[in-house]
Amino acid sequence: MLYPIVPLFLTLVLGAPMALVGLIEGAAESTASILKVVSGWYSDKTTKRKPFVVAGYSISAISKPLMALAYGWPLVLVARLMDRTGKGLRTSARDALIADSSDAAHRGRSFGLHRSMDTIGAVAGPLIALGVLYLSGDNYRLVFLAAFIPGLLSIILVTFFVSERKRPVTERISFKVSDFGRDYKVFLLITAIFALGNSSNVFLILRAENLGFSFYMVILSYVLFNIVSSLGAFPLGTLSDRWGRRNIMSAGFIVFGIVYFGFAWVHQSIYIWLLFIIYGLYEALTEGIGKAYVVDLVPSGKRGTALGIYHAASGFMMLFASIIAGLLWDILGPSAPFIYGGAVAALSAMLLVVLMPGDHRS
């Protein structure tokens, strides 16, 4: 609900420079990354996923109204760190819970379904935020307060309507990447390289504003991106069960590169709509399928840990990607971070095709 609102609040209301926006987003994501490893490992160790999911949603919910009190960027940073702390606690455990509840033949479909449901919320949230802003005379702080409500609903749903299977501990669980197989380590390296060019989506939002989009058009374009992602995630996840994760993921990296080069070189706002549509396709091609790919590559008892390391590696690289993007924007201009990101995506697609075997099932 708040994701496309926060960068505009930072730049338009609080006057923050792009480099600071990149630093805030990078710090928030790196915080989540650390906790994704810890929570994933501990959920494997204890064989319990649900407590981490409930705690994560609770902390994120509390962070929303805190943003309403911000009259400078430091409190926004604190709120973003809290929100990402919640995300870090819940993500690996939640993904492992999904994997535990699905068989290998339908794993891509399961993660695709989750991604679709998640993205429906990302569509409805900004639309609700737009309505609140319109009716309140662009009162950002009221939007931040309203965002607590869906957070509370998430806590209730997970607490009372989600159950998990009991799983025996069959082996020692370790943080060490060396304890995993060659294919997992290669995939981890490739996705980390890709993430080094994948800066926060706030730069796409700010680029749209830079090219002349009004505040409301920026939010609607982000909603359009989420609609495409939601519609595509389930069928493409199912397709990855048949065609293989590598083929779908490499196509996603190529699509990402096309979008980023497009954001670098277009100079008319009309093309931004098309780029956000294509970007939604990239998200559907990679987000849930990447998690299913990780689960294919590791033993069932190490899923939480493997997913945590995967999220952490990508998150740490995205910290540097966002800082680099902010500096490139301020120093070389708004096209520079997108040229850089597109080039890194092209390299990552090539590495994935060359270095990873064609298919995996576990």
pLDDT band at 272 (very low <50, low <70, confident <90, very high): very high
* Position 171 pLDDT exceeds 60: no
Q: Determine which of 66-70, 196-200, 247-251 has the lowest per-residue pLDDT on average.
A: 66-70
State mean pLDDT over 307-319.
85
pLDDT of residue 278 exceeding 90, the answer is yes
User: Is residue 222 scored above 90 in pLDDT?
Assistant: no
User: Token digits for 143?
Assistant: 């939007």
Question: Alpha-carbon distance 66 to 130, whole Å?
Answer: 20
Mean pLDDT of 265-282: 91
Amino acid in position 249: M
Mean pLDDT, residues 204-226: 87
Using the predicted structure, report yes or no on whether residue 243 has a pLDDT greater than 90. no
Q: Which pLDDT score is estimated for 79?
A: 92
Q: What is the pLDDT of residue 159?
A: 87
- Residue 360: pLDDT over 70: no
Residue 330 CB partners (closer than 8 Å, separation 6+): 17, 18, 19
Short-list 290, 294, 284, 234, CA closest to 259: 284
Q: Which residue has the higher pLDDT, 348 or 134?
A: 348
Mean pLDDT confidence for 81-91: 89
pLDDT at 8 over 60: yes
Domains of the chain: 5-163+175-355 (1.20.1250.20)
Mean pLDDT of 65-85: 89
Contact 344, 196 (CB under 8 A): yes
**Residue 159 CA from chain centroid, whole number:** 23
Give yes or no for residue 204 having a pLDDT over 90.
Answer: yes
On the question of pLDDT at 362 being above 50, the answer is no
Assign 305 a pLDDT band (cuts: 50, 70, 90).
confident
State residue 29's pLDDT score.
78
Helix, strand or coil, per DSSP, at residue 2? coil
How many whole angstroms from its chain centre is CA 213?
24
Give the lowest-confidence range in 108-112, 146-150, 272-276, 353-357. Answer: 108-112
- pLDDT computed for residue 361 by the predictor: 47
pLDDT tier at 288 (50, 70, 90 boundaries)?
Answer: confident
Q: What number of other Cβ atoms are within 10 A of residue 181's Cβ?
A: 11
**Planar angle of CA 318, 247, 340, nearest 5 degrees:** 35
Q: What does the pLDDT read at residue 100?
A: 78
CA dihedral 231, 6, 75, 144 (to 10 degrees): -70
Location of structure tokens 């064989």: 47
**Separation of alpha carbons 41 and 179, rounded Å:** 13
| Six-digit token string for 160 | 């009372």
Going by pLDDT thresholds of 50, 70 and 90, the confidence category of residue 253 is very high
Total-model pTM: 0.76
pLDDT beyond 60 at 87: yes
Determine the Cα angle at 225 with ends 22 and 137, to 5°.
75
